[in-house]
Structure 1
């Protein structure tokens, strides 16, 4: 693996409202960068036309399943790689439809940066941005999961005649909202693009770019990606790999696990175990792949595929955490957390049932106690034992996991204090298909 690839990886999640053109944008970008050849491009054009979805041919570069291609929407996380002059980019294309937000959370938890794709069409941007659209929820989710850099690709600008006024209108609305959501102004970049035409992705040559060139002389999308700042990596902490995928390969024995290393370093040949899992099941790392290249070791922040020996797939689950046997992550069923409550219609009360998300795992849980309201300016408790939590509240709460069956207690999930491991200590809470709060783990109680 080239040195620049090893030390300059960036993991980006592509987010935005359904039909904003996320998969089309990334599919066209992969083609422009030579990651999709002419043969595959023609096959995608024929295939999409055959099922009556010819306008989705570029998206077929990322939407790989039959159902995704027939429905014309992304349902799971699609992953691809490409290289810019100074960066090795891993792309996680997230679903935009509200039914698949849990899959989007799984992708965002592996990301360093977000590319927010918005539809510049009249009425289309507004539909995605107003209440009920996924633009707002996606932005709040990725910021809550630790993503601090965002590139806003204002797509389909060709459909409004490359209007500068429309671009600036969208930028004004979104920049304010992104700031309110916790993004620093210096970490927000806006770029106008026409994904289907390939305008301003890699360059602005050709007849299609003339109208944009009349008023825009800024960076292309690739220029923006190439300047992404390096995120802080937790290299020196204990090895933690939350598993986001498990698969077998016909050409090789054993099982592969994939995910983004949350902390630490792992080398080929080392002994590992999965948590939760049987104490007696200890496997070893046969090989490691990073961006389709075989490497001897990998570290925090890298998306890896690890071949394991002596571990049966039945002992592995999505959301399990791979670690070293003597440094296993603890399993918890009760913990305290500091949360920020989002824009909710129904307040949170003690005993509220929620879905708890951490990394690629989601489990049923109960907000068992409201411990205190927090002053967001000082970080200190302003009121003990509040009766309810309304929108915008900052609070410390106790959360207890529930079994999937009311008569079966939870076996616990791998969590750590945020102070000890940031990636392992972030949580999201959802209720009735809506994200209601995000927070950090303060203390493990059980």
Structure 2
């Protein structure tokens, strides 16, 4: 997300000096919960986000009237709420989010940061970047006849987005069945159950347990069942809470406060100095701290911390923040780098072993295959140097060593390499830096976790062992 868009969004939402909109609750600092809105294009994600901002007092009447007037002039009156997060002319003219947008509001118990991810398949990399910053995902489904089916069937983004959220470590999922007011639906319980019955087995298949999934029918445009429960005269069969009530009831994930600092870099820009945007994954960052930017191991001095346009004394895990820093130039900073504790830096490597689940591929996969790996906010070309072992998905036991190839649907361990160093850790040691997703030709082909980072000595010994083994085979053949 561009810095200019962040500044414009703060101005358009009329946040006060403390980063709160009209009617927001007060002052004391509450823990942050990051929520990403995902789902197929045209499911109504941006409208839903904008209406939530309006109902929580973070989008005022004057600004909404302005959006409504501008949208009406383009013949798109129903897009007025979406324009709270879709800021560019391209997004507003086509009605398609192209980059993820960020805003926030408060509920009775939480400070919630919402991330509006793009739904079009052309912008999946931006969706991955947004989802990587989230604790909870809201999978938005259109109840309109034909639209749910288009998103859920092969080629739609509902399946891919749900799988990517799970792979990114998002453990809590809220399925919002949107557009329940639509003439082809009219708050039909039959349509709601039909969608739930088709979607639930798939979510279970990709790893979501039933207790991790909530189901909420809403209308993002009319606002029904967003803040207040839907009126029985409109929908007599739904007995659950409104979307905001469901969000309020969520448990905050554990925050690793006592670990060494780890903050993933999402973006950078210049605003009265060099600024870094990112999410704190572990530890606490205070104004005045010295941190290391990895790679290339540059010392960074934190001069101030800003969250939601408010300067704060410290940042904790789960906070999406802007750091004003000294000691580095803007060109030194790139998405995917990690700010870390000076005395306990994260490792940067060009080689790691990963356990991969190959979901989809046009043919067999062999050593030498190249694709794009998404590791946190970094997108890098990765090469499969060696296939080390094939693994039984049910038992996680090795069933075959050094296979010549693997097929779609298989799970295997491979040695992977990248041209430029990336910050990763073994998944068992620190999960947020131990996950990656694989994409090729615009399709997500697999997901994996880092098993280990081999040392130079280990790589040398393995190479020597392979060479000796090859020599013996050649000798016996002669």
TM-score of the two chains, using structure 1 as the length reference = 0.92
1:342 aligns with 2:342: no
**Structure 1 residues 39-66: Cα deviation after superposition (integer angstroms, max 9, x where no partner):** 1101111122223332211100111112
1:99 aligns with 2:122: yes
Residue 312 of structure 1 is matched in structure 2 by 329
User: What CA distance in whole angstroms lies between the structure 1 residues aligned with 2:30 and 2:107?
Assistant: 14
Query: Which of 413, 423, 427 is the matching residue for 1:396?
Result: 413
1:120 aligns with 2:143: yes
User: What CA distance in whole angstroms lies between the structure 1 residues aligned with 2:208 and 2:27?
Assistant: 28
Indicate conservation of the 8 Å contact 1:354/1:365, yes or no.
Answer: yes
1:76 aligns with 2:90: no
1:182 aligns with 2:182: no
User: What CA distance in whole angstroms lies between the structure 2 residues aligned with 1:224 and 1:78?
Assistant: 22
Indicate conservation of the 8 Å contact 2:335/2:378, yes or no.
Answer: yes
Between structure 1 and structure 2, the one with the greater Rg is 2
**Structure 1 residues 134-158: Cα deviation after superposition (integer angstroms, max 9, x where no partner):** 0000000000110010001100111
Residue 428 of structure 2 is matched in structure 1 by 419
Indicate conservation of the 8 Å contact 2:229/2:241, yes or no.
Answer: no
How far does residue 230 in structure 1 lie from its aligned partner after superposition? Answer: 1.6
Q: Output aligned runs, 1:158-237, within 5 Å.
A: 158-159=181-182, 160-204=185-229, 209=231, 211-237=233-259
Residues 270 and 434 of structure 1, relative CA distance in 2, 3 Å threshold: same
CA RMSD of aligned residues (A): 1.8
How far does residue 313 in structure 1 lie from its aligned partner after superposition? Answer: 0.9
1:384 aligns with 2:401: yes
Indicate conservation of the 8 Å contact 1:74/1:95, yes or no.
Answer: yes
Give unpaired runs (5+ residues) of structure 2: 1-17, 19-24, 457-478
Q: Output aligned runs, 1:190-339, within 5 Å.
A: 190-204=215-229, 209=231, 211-249=233-271, 253-277=272-296, 279=297, 281-339=298-356
**Structure 1 residues 53-111: Cα deviation after superposition (integer angstroms, max 9, x where no partner):** 32211100111112111121101110010111111111011000000000000011111
Q: Which moved further from structure 2: 150-159 or 315-324?
A: 315-324
TM-score of the two chains, using structure 2 as the length reference = 0.86
Secondary structure of residue in 1 paired with 2:181? helix
What number of residue pairs does the alignment pair up?
Answer: 430
How far does residue 411 in structure 1 lie from its aligned partner after superposition? Answer: 2.7
Q: Which moved further from structure 2: 87-96 or 327-336?
A: 327-336
Indicate conservation of the 8 Å contact 1:113/1:148, yes or no.
Answer: yes
Residues 300 and 345 of structure 1, relative CA distance in 2, 3 Å threshold: same
Secondary structure of residue in 1 paired with 2:356? strand
User: What CA distance in whole angstroms lies between the structure 2 residues aligned with 1:5 and 1:378?
Assistant: 48
Residue 374 of structure 2 is matched in structure 1 by 357
Query: Which of 423, 447, 462 is the matching residue for 1:438?
Result: 447
Residues 44 and 173 of structure 1, relative CA distance in 2, 3 Å threshold: same
Indicate conservation of the 8 Å contact 2:30/2:109, yes or no.
Answer: no
Residue 149 of structure 1 is matched in structure 2 by 172
User: What CA distance in whole angstroms lies between the structure 1 residues aligned with 2:189 and 2:67?
Assistant: 33
Residue 31 of structure 1 is matched in structure 2 by 54
Residue 461 of structure 2 is matched in structure 1 by none
How far does residue 286 in structure 1 lie from its aligned partner after superposition? Answer: 0.9
User: What CA distance in whole angstroms lies between the structure 2 residues aligned with 1:244 and 1:99?
Assistant: 20
How far does residue 6 in structure 1 lie from its aligned partner after superposition? Answer: 4.3
Residue 66 of structure 2 is matched in structure 1 by 43
